Structure 1
């Protein structure tokens, strides 16, 4: 596999099963290499009904396009299945507007022309209206408003003022809940004020629109606290006052949610006990009784794994979105959701009687996104594994029958030899078992000595797993053995394992990584003189930490890294520093920050280092990469820096296609120079 093969891949995003379960609409995401952009269009595939016992399901027909894009996304079926709402942008930098496509044929009807566009459409139960989100402010966004020639100064009054991949927070334009009729009526806002709203969904009786929102005045000062609220769709004026109803309010964030016919709410949420922890595992919560509901039954209290896990990959759809399914099922006696166990994201049926968890999909697969019919009997799923970025499937819940509807990359991957991926478990320094995977080169010969590259994930509270990684495959195709593992702090191994790194990040996770390298070397096919290490975000932090604490690696690449925790505390867009990662702020206790900052130990580094960073990264701002680079250059040590203009923290996952290819090419060529002895003259001046 080559770097440029990325340009040939196609992704299935946001699969939406029709109400009767017979069709699946989805967003097809592909690369327009000439435009150096992603194109998104809506496609449809028939979903064959389950066959009688013992008979194989018939082969589905290939999908067909419903629209031709290039910027169509977020398909949503009407309750009767006769129409499809979606969001269409006419130009790359123009906001998307709401359209409705009749499935019997004809042109899509445009419903909105809002200055800030729309997102997350949701149908009313009677199919007459749609709720959606928009940041449009009717009081400010008037057609007569003149745009200044030069952008004016920004007055910042709050500590949280910009977000990676979104830019500066505009206090006058948070996302609010809107409603519009499909009869051509003007759209109107239902909510107002300074707080951002998310995930609008109609109540089953159509009397309310539920939404999620963090209503804390200053979110920067602590962990998330997202509540479930409701607003009447019949309000004549937008409100931020007593007309809003609190439906569910716990100490901690609520995420996905679903309502049953009796008004119970199932939600994915993380309870935040005192004292705060670095990691709080997501559980399935059940809210019952009258509003506001301030307590919930924790249905997965005895299931020590994540609900709605975050599995790292560079091959989730770069555009088009999608979410993990959550729905009542089995006659509302259970909830269908995704659980994370040992690096896998698995669709499961969670009993509301005893919290029992029945896994419905194979643990060798990763559920990337999906949706469920209103009766909970059929699910459309995008499933990936170590050999495929993501294929479209339909699952019949009653019969447990899984049918693959489409493999968008069959032709591309069919012509590319891929090496074996082997799962391993090994003991760390304290006896804990650590899970990892080894990607071997195509035609791997265990009798030969191979160079090895250790890949380290970020987060830190995410997990590597059974998903497809293009970067790993490119390196394996170049002749490297690639090792990726889940050190302590990773998710999908339970609450205690995830929280082990509180006030110790980085620390013992470094020892887990080195134990993994030792375990693979012990197999006899790795050349100990040709070891490389790389990782991004928290993995960049650990890459820096590794080379500051051992000289065993011959080359390193730190991507979107952390080098200095003190400056990171003051400049990053997120809020997890105190008291979850550090006990005190740096102006009270700078020593704790210095003790865990790789740049503080830069004098120990002997490994040639490449620093890769994006210039618009607000998660780990580019100053972090500059600090590590300058710390080595000041000592006249081997270091180069690759800077990507116009990109942010998501470069390797959703950056411009050409830049993603260039990024991977730099990674391979740096390792080729130092581990394979291949010439790379562009780096000579830095070495």
Structure 2
């Protein structure tokens, strides 16, 4: 469970001392800092925060069963609800109306109902709901406040679904069968180890069994199993210590599994596994993270996605030859959409999403024969034209121990290379996460106001190999923080940035990194804004959801046995040295990083006399889903940095509950 997905004393510093050897990752050239450039643009203006917030999000999507419509979750009304649009293009029609967000769209086999997931106020206790595809009353089919249901898959009979379930009081994730007619849930697989979680992948053998995944809490081990239905008898197909085997899909004839694995390479790659023959066929080697996708309805091809240093491509792969044919999506953040399958029922089209640093996310239909995409949504406001939005560049620099670190740098227009400009470091969530070169509201808002923004993929990030991903275990806020500092030094070396005008902000693990940065390295950053970050690993462990507790243990060890690690990696240990003004933003219902973490920060800084503020947003979880709170939090962030990095006191933020 990652902090960004549900999904971290000097006397103890030796416990978390970073290794001095360079951490392995894909080879790439180091960027000359002076190659960073601020282009001229006479029309450049600060992007209004409201325009960013009113540019709608793109969430879960699905084809209708006949392929004539597309269901999607988007924030057209300021809430992430379900809409439908004709696949040929046309006006969207709203299907659900709720203050709570929806996800996991799956149409019923007869096409009359759309199943989806919904929680309450961001608490992540999901139930399974249904709404008629022609409109009508929404029904909660499970209504189990103490049990979370996710990833439902409807069986061939159209009457039974298999789904992952988790009790509030347990860390492990199990499998259950769900009768779509009666609402009755029957356990299928009961996991005893709180470190492990199951999820269904595909039905096989005409509904007699499923292919399922079983992985540990930090996603460093994953196995593929066959589970018979309804007996629950589980048979291991692929599994090995310290190895990932992730099943993406099963071919229509049930013979092949599309697999993502790091077996023998330490880097994720896509392959096909013949179940009966127990034989592998892997795609051509690549140093970059690659993941298998779904099969076409005729079984002749499957999809694959490759993330190369923060930018992603999608390709179709011929099952017979393993020849890859890239889809013609623009550079940036590209992924396949569509829930159960990205392919249309006739197999001729694919659903894909694309965004870039200067392009908001939109849904595309890709013609399978030609590979050419056509946009079917226009979710950004007209004011957000690429010509007037800041551009990004992927850079690579060396950290303190020679480790290569990549980052996405968004550069404002019209800056002078005179060492006078402010900058913001924006570490991602996770820590097992990755910043990718897509549209980022915070980066765009700040860069359009004259801040150079860097999103570093420090050690611990995904996409750069297993050794890199685990390089900060029991060292959070150690080597990874030094990677952030090296990023700051890179920006200063560009000639644009004043080292005394650098701030830091981030959410979840990025919030933890913000806290650690301003506390452990108090002279490096002039201001910070932390969103739902961890201040104290001891109280975090005590307050956390049981599944998240297991993730914490996987990163830091046991809180009793490894007490020194918890102390050395807690910003609480260093907070006495903080100098930078700090703003904290927190959702009231956050189960990943509970409210108490932000309250601890506020209480400490108030007693210490450090300039600070804290805002708690009601009915919000791990991240702010409601438009008014997105606007308020981003305005507060801008105001904070304007005040403490630029000396401005414009004050644009609206009021919010505190």
Taking structure 2 as the reference length, the TM-score comes to 0.75
Residues 137-286 of structure 1 mapped to structure 2, 5 A cutoff? 162=168, 176-180=176-180, 189=185, 191=187, 198-199=199-200, 201-203=202-204, 206-208=206-208, 210=210, 212=212, 214=214, 227-232=224-229, 242=231, 244=233, 246=235, 248=237, 250-251=239-240, 257-269=248-260, 282-284=268-270, 286=272
Bigger CA drift: 669-678 or 248-257?
Answer: 248-257
Bigger CA drift: 371-380 or 351-360?
Answer: 351-360
3-state secondary structure, aligned to 1:64: coil
Pick from 466, 472, 475 the counterpart of residue 504 of structure 1.
Answer: 475
Aligned to 1:15: 61
> How has the CA–CA distance of structure 1 residues 414 and 617 changed in structure 2, closer, same or farther, with 3 Å as cutoff?
same
Bigger CA drift: 534-543 or 250-259?
Answer: 250-259
> How has the CA–CA distance of structure 1 residues 560 and 230 changed in structure 2, closer, same or farther, with 3 Å as cutoff?
same
Q: How far off its partner does 1:372 sit? A: 1.6
Q: Does 1:132 align with 2:161?
A: yes
Distance in 1, Cα, partners of 2:590 & 2:139:
35
Pick from 274, 286, 299 the counterpart of residue 282 of structure 2.
Answer: 299
Aligned to 1:236: none
3-state secondary structure, aligned to 1:472: helix
Distance in 2, Cα, partners of 1:75 & 1:161:
22
> How has the CA–CA distance of structure 1 residues 122 and 100 changed in structure 2, closer, same or farther, with 3 Å as cutoff?
farther
Question: Structure 2: any 5+ residue segments left out of the alignment?
Answer: 1-46, 192-196, 654-658
Q: How far off its partner does 1:587 sit? A: 1.7
Distance in 1, Cα, partners of 2:103 & 2:167:
28
Distance in 1, Cα, partners of 2:652 & 2:107:
52
Aligned to 1:527: 498
Aligned residue pair count: 583
Distance in 1, Cα, partners of 2:522 & 2:439:
30
Q: How far off its partner does 1:490 sit? A: 1.6
Q: Does 1:644 align with 2:617?
A: yes
3-state secondary structure, aligned to 1:27: strand
Distance in 1, Cα, partners of 2:118 & 2:591:
28
> How has the CA–CA distance of structure 1 residues 248 and 89 changed in structure 2, closer, same or farther, with 3 Å as cutoff?
closer
Q: How far off its partner does 1:674 sit? A: 0.7
Q: Does 1:572 align with 2:600?
A: no
Distance in 2, Cα, partners of 1:298 & 1:523:
45
Aligned to 2:608: 635
Deviations 1:407-456 (A, max 9, x none): 22253524994222233232333334322222233554556832111111
3-state secondary structure, aligned to 1:425: strand
3-state secondary structure, aligned to 2:632: helix
Deviations 1:82-106 (A, max 9, x none): 83541379998896643554xxxx7
Distance in 1, Cα, partners of 2:217 & 2:227:
25
Deviations 1:348-376 (A, max 9, x none): 34566787765434442322634124675
Q: Does 1:98 align with 2:130?
A: yes
> How has the CA–CA distance of structure 1 residues 177 and 606 changed in structure 2, closer, same or farther, with 3 Å as cutoff?
same
3-state secondary structure, aligned to 1:326: strand
Distance in 2, Cα, partners of 1:600 & 1:97:
45
Distance in 2, Cα, partners of 1:229 & 1:44:
37
Q: How far off its partner does 1:377 sit? A: 4.9
Distance in 2, Cα, partners of 1:631 & 1:374:
57
Q: How far off its partner does 1:191 sit? A: 4.3
Residues 270-669 of structure 1 mapped to structure 2, 5 A cutoff? 282-284=268-270, 286-290=272-276, 297=280, 299=282, 302-308=285-291, 326-329=293-296, 332=299, 334-350=301-317, 359-360=326-327, 361-367=329-335, 369-370=337-338, 371-373=342-344, 377-409=348-380, 411-414=382-385, 417-446=388-417, 449-547=420-518, 548-573=520-545, 574-575=548-549, 580-582=554-556, 584-651=557-624, 655-669=625-639
Checking the alignment, whether the CA contact within 8 Å between 2:257 and 2:275 is kept in structure 1 is: no
Q: Does 1:83 align with 2:51?
A: no
Aligned to 1:26: 71
3-state secondary structure, aligned to 1:411: coil
> How has the CA–CA distance of structure 1 residues 454 and 283 changed in structure 2, closer, same or farther, with 3 Å as cutoff?
same
Bigger CA drift: 593-602 or 572-581?
Answer: 572-581
> How has the CA–CA distance of structure 1 residues 594 and 95 changed in structure 2, closer, same or farther, with 3 Å as cutoff?
closer
Checking the alignment, whether the CA contact within 8 Å between 1:608 and 1:639 is kept in structure 2 is: yes
Q: How far off its partner does 1:223 sit? A: 6.8
Checking the alignment, whether the CA contact within 8 Å between 2:317 and 2:324 is kept in structure 1 is: yes
Checking the alignment, whether the CA contact within 8 Å between 2:305 and 2:335 is kept in structure 1 is: yes
Distance in 2, Cα, partners of 1:674 & 1:476:
16
Checking the alignment, whether the CA contact within 8 Å between 2:423 and 2:497 is kept in structure 1 is: yes
Aligned to 2:96: 69
Checking the alignment, whether the CA contact within 8 Å between 1:270 and 1:282 is kept in structure 2 is: yes
Distance in 2, Cα, partners of 1:243 & 1:409:
47
Question: Structure 1: any 5+ residue segments left out of the alignment?
Answer: 47-61, 137-159, 163-167, 233-238, 274-278, 309-324
> How has the CA–CA distance of structure 1 residues 350 and 527 changed in structure 2, closer, same or farther, with 3 Å as cutoff?
same
Deviations 1:202-254 (A, max 9, x none): 43x6333526365x9xx87997756544454xxxxxx5xx4545474525776
Q: How far off its partner does 1:391 sit? A: 1.4
Distance in 1, Cα, partners of 2:602 & 2:536:
12
> How has the CA–CA distance of structure 1 residues 353 and 246 changed in structure 2, closer, same or farther, with 3 Å as cutoff?
same
Checking the alignment, whether the CA contact within 8 Å between 2:302 and 2:317 is kept in structure 1 is: yes
Taking structure 1 as the reference length, the TM-score comes to 0.72
Checking the alignment, whether the CA contact within 8 Å between 1:260 and 1:328 is kept in structure 2 is: yes
Aligned to 1:677: 647
- Could you say which structure has the larger radius of gyration? 1
Checking the alignment, whether the CA contact within 8 Å between 2:419 and 2:496 is kept in structure 1 is: yes
Deviations 1:178-222 (A, max 9, x none): 245xxxx6565564575687447443x6333526365x9xx8799
> How has the CA–CA distance of structure 1 residues 247 and 509 changed in structure 2, closer, same or farther, with 3 Å as cutoff?
closer
3-state secondary structure, aligned to 1:528: strand
Checking the alignment, whether the CA contact within 8 Å between 2:541 and 2:552 is kept in structure 1 is: no
Distance in 2, Cα, partners of 1:553 & 1:634:
21
Checking the alignment, whether the CA contact within 8 Å between 2:358 and 2:386 is kept in structure 1 is: no
Distance in 2, Cα, partners of 1:266 & 1:175:
20
Checking the alignment, whether the CA contact within 8 Å between 1:122 and 1:130 is kept in structure 2 is: no
Distance in 1, Cα, partners of 2:112 & 2:262:
36
